[in-house]
Amino acid sequence: MLTYWLYRSVACIPSRSTDEAMIYLRSRQRNIECGISGFLQREGSHFVQYLEGADDQVAHIKRLIQADWRHRDVQTLSEGPLQTRRFDGWDMALTETETGFFGVFQRIHGRSADLSTARTEEFVAFLDHLSSSGKGQRDDPAWNAEIPNAASPAFRETANSTEGRSAS
């Protein structure tokens, strides 16, 4: 059975840091291996992430995320069964720039831009907008370049040397 999980948390790591890039790289690989579709949004000190896939795989990743030292105060906003995937063709997208800011989307729609207080349905509307735009799919080079240093050989070497540090 397909299921989804949407959560918000407080980041314990600097934006655009190696630790943050590792979240993206490792999670993206694991999502591919586990058949998970996902999207991670970071604005200021908050993360919001949406994951979907087989219920046992989503439950496994949920446990990893809840134990991860790189964020705290993991708050489930919504979860439940799915008939079909919302983000088929995605593995994991990450945004931190104006191209995908939740706050920009909110202001355009006349709503509060504060990620820490936004309502679940506002996140879902934002995710639906991204899904319909095609952003975040595996073949979208703009989204694959969101963390420019993540693809460099030097970054990958650094990432490999920090293998034991992260849970997710």
**Distance between terminal CA atoms of the chain?**
23
pLDDT of residue 168: 44
Output the CA–CA distances (angstroms, integers) from residue 58 to 116, 133, 137, 162, in the order listed: 23, 24, 19, 25
CATH topology of domain 2-165: Alpha-Beta Plaits (3.30.70)
Range from 43-47, 92-96, 97-101, 114-118 that averages highest in pLDDT:
43-47
Q: 163 or 136, which is more confident? A: 136
Return left, alpha or beta for 47; rule: phi > 0 is left, psi -120 to 50 is alpha, else beta. Answer: beta
- Identify the sign of the CA torsion 95, 96, 97, 101: positive
Element (H, E) at 120: helix 120-133
Question: d(Cα 62, Cα 43) in Å, to the nearest integer?
Answer: 21
Q: 69 or 130, which is more confident? A: 69
What is the tens place of the pLDDT at every residue in 51-109? 999 999 999 999 999 999 999 999 999 999 999 988 777 766 655 554 457 788 888 88
pLDDT of residue 128: 80
* Cβ atoms within 10 Å of 23's Cβ, excluding its own: 25
Reported as a pLDDT band with limits 50, 70 and 90, residue 42 is confident
Q: 24 or 165, which is more confident? A: 24
pLDDT surpasses 70 at 116: yes
The full set of domain ranges for the chain reads 2-165
